[in-house]
Amino acid sequence: MIDLHAHLLPGVDDGPATLDDAVRMAETAAASGTRVVVTTPHMQPGGYPYRPSVEQLTDRLNELRVALDERRIPLQVLLGSEVLFSVDVPERLRRREALPLADGPYVLVELAGDEIPYGFEERLFELQLEGYHPILAHPERHPAFQRNPSLVHPLLDRGVLLQITGGSLLGQFGRASLMTAETFVLRGLAHLMASDGHSPERRPPVMKAARARVVELAGPEAALWMTEEAPARIVAGEPLPTTVPVGPARPRRRGLGRTLRRWGHAVRHRMLW
């Protein structure tokens, strides 16, 4: 698998504090079936705490790569960033105060707060005009999309890609994130799944169990696309379809009944959407 969103560099954000912790995370990722990780440290605008320089990130990446080689951990680590949205995102990318994924055209963007900020779509369109392809990080964990999942449609219509967190499908971020993530997977709206790993124990960079859940919800083709095929194209800087090229798996009658009983009104909401 290829993990496009994990915080693996030590001492630069809220990820691992030490190189030893980062190595433990990498070892866990490799043991769980991940072969490539794009490490995505937070790169935030002024007024926020995480503003590492490109030089600092490059130094930490090189240190981590040396440590992995010494321990013979079979994991390739590439550099990117998780870009906190601000109205000057295009300028921050030009100034190298934010980085695309794997030095390519794809940019991982996250939203703060409880609402979609004014000018969000317009700034993403501006990124596209400059040759970038925006990926929205973990929308299932954002209150605005939890309240109204259909808010992703204008973004999808503009070619924005959606990346969900594997832990959301396992209930690790609460009921609302779980239901919203399932909605996106069931309807073929989630293009990518990543770990968003932050630590060796509490939030490890693993996707194996969540991938199995995607298989249950939407079939093996969807799981393969979200964790291997689509991420491979992104790492290579290749074009990606804006719609997931697989349909949902036909649920077994017994399993559907359990889902209906478990989620009640949430499932009815999905049917109406």
pLDDT, tens only, 190-207: 999 999 999 999 999 999
Domains of the chain, earliest start first: 2-272 (3.20.20.140)
Predicted structure pTM score:
0.90
As a whole number, mean pLDDT of residues 133-161 equals: 97
Q: 120 pLDDT exceeds 80? A: yes
Q: Which residues contact 113 (CB under 8 A, 6 or more apart)?
A: none
> pLDDT-derived band of residue 100, with 50, 70 and 90 as boundaries?
very high
> pLDDT-derived band of residue 244, with 50, 70 and 90 as boundaries?
confident
Q: Kind of pairing, strands 76-79 and 36-39?
A: parallel
Torsion of CA 117, 123, 127, 130, to 10 degrees: -170
> Looking at residue 268, what is its pLDDT?
31
Encode pLDDT of 24-37 as tens digits: 999 999 999 999 99
Q: What is the DSSP string of 76-135?
A: EEEE--EEE--TTHHHHHHTTSS--GGGSSEEEEE--SSSPPTTHHHHHHHHHHTT-EEE
Exposed / middle / buried, residue 226 (Cβ in 10 Å: 0-12, 13-18, 19+): buried
Amino acid at 43: M
Nearest to 145, CA basis, from 170, 168, 128: 168
As a whole number, mean pLDDT of residues 6-12 equals: 98
Which of the residue ranges 94-108, 213-227, 253-267 would you say has the lowest mean pLDDT? 253-267
Nearest to 191, CA basis, from 234, 149, 154, 250: 234
Q: What is the DSSP string of 251-269?
A: PPHHHHHHHHHHHTHHHHH
What is the C-alpha separation between 117 and 122, in angstroms, rounded? 11
